Amino acid sequence: MKTGPLSKDHSLLLSWYRANRRDLPWRRNRDPYQIWVSEVMLQQTTVAAVVPYYEKFLTLFPRVEDLAQAPENAVLKAWAGLGYYSRARNLHKAAKALAEKGFPKAAAELIEYPGFGPYTSAAVASIAFGDRVGVLDGNVIRVLCRRFGLDVDWWTTTAKKDLQARADAFAQLGQPDEINQALMELGATICTPQSPACLLCPWTSRCEARRADQVRSLPRPKPRKKIEIWTWSPVVFRKKNQVALLQRHDTPVLRGQWLFPGDFEQVKKKPSSFHARHGITHHDLYVNVSTSSRLPRDPSFQWVDLDKVVEINPSKLLQKILDAAKGLKP
């Protein structure tokens, strides 16, 4: 892909970014650890929601070595409220390796670590170390599809390869740390999904979607994954102020985490009665809770103090189950 025609775009966008970028805590230095933590937190979460969690997290774990040495339950407790807890577990796993070996400076090396997908690897490597690789997140995809009038199935491998090449071309023109953040900033603040502020955009006269009156139709909407309906019948075993949890690998959600025992079943329609409802990704989960005074003797169960459950598994689903169990008799 030729980069020559992009130089004007590159210059206009950099000038706009330097004049309009938001003052965000992770933009105040180029520490790869701090940038990495922010990028992981920002996945599936808004900037406004992330800032207080980010600042608290760095107070608790100011260096990658501190995060590596922390127990997992302390990391999960600090993450509680952000959701998608596999992000925190992968962050912790990768921190152990990074604390020992140091941060690689290239996205191609970072991607080998747990939780470092193509986007996170490119973001950390380009922003912290100036690696000339483009980032491709939802904001950047939207900006590129509109700027170049790309009416494509952007979620497919072929289309993403083309979009990545376009993002890389911008990074290779120079200042990859700023240009990548500029593309994301433009998508987050100006070229938004609904009601984009086209007149404030540095590319307003260069945008193919605007020229063709396609701003509202690009990028194409991704087909939604069908929602699966599941029921779960957790059993709460309790003795004094403790409950029994089991590490489960047989579940449609929260796989590998400490949960209550009980059967999951996929159904065609939601049940008429249930104690709690919980949505996780494309799963709609309906929960009917029971309690038991017969204590399990299986050594694979772990007895956990009620006030420590959130440290073992911070998912709000467990708290919903415990709340429902309070009014039930064994």
Query: Looking at the predicted structure, is the pLDDT value of residue 2 above 50?
Result: no
- Mean pLDDT, the chain, as a whole number? 91
Mean pLDDT of all residues in 226-248: 89
Q: How confident is the model at residue 256 (pLDDT cuts 50, 70, 90)?
A: confident
Q: Which of 39, 178, 185, 311 is the catalytic position?
A: 39
- Evaluate the omega torsion of the peptide bond into residue 219 and state whether it is cis, within 30 degrees of 0: yes
pLDDT in tens, 119-165: 999 999 999 999 999 999 999 999 999 999 999 999 999 999 999 99
Distances (CA, A) of 61 to 30, 34, 68, 127, 218: 17, 10, 9, 21, 41
* Under 8 Å between Cβ of 77 and 310: yes
**Mutual orientation of helices 32-42 and 47-60 as an angle, nearest 10°?**
140
Instruction: Give the pLDDT of residue 329.
Output: 67
Query: Looking at the predicted structure, is the pLDDT value of residue 77 above 90?
Result: no
Q: Provide, rounded to the nearest whole percent, the portion of the chain with pLDDT above 90.
A: 65
Say if pTM beats, i.e. exceeds, 0.85.
no
pLDDT in tens, 264-319: 999 999 999 899 899 887 889 999 999 887 777 777 888 888 888 887 888 888 98
Query: Looking at the predicted structure, is the pLDDT value of residue 330 above 70?
Result: no
pLDDT in tens, 173-187: 999 999 999 999 999
* Under 8 Å between Cβ of 236 and 251: no
Instruction: Give the pLDDT of residue 309.
Output: 86
**Cα–Cα distance, 192 to 198 (Å, whole number):** 9
Instruction: Based on the residue annotation, tell me whether 112 is a catalytic residue of this protein.
Output: no
**18-27 LR contacts (CB < 8 Å, sep 24+):** 18/178, 20/185, 20/189, 21/181, 21/182, 21/185, 22/47, 22/185, 22/189, 24/51, 25/51, 25/54, 25/55, 26/54, 27/181
Most confident segment among 89-103, 176-190, 218-232:
176-190
- One DSSP character per residue, 33-53 reads HHHHHHHHHHTTS-HHHHHHH
Q: How confident is the model at residue 1 (pLDDT cuts 50, 70, 90)?
A: very low
Instruction: Give the pLDDT of residue 3.
Output: 46
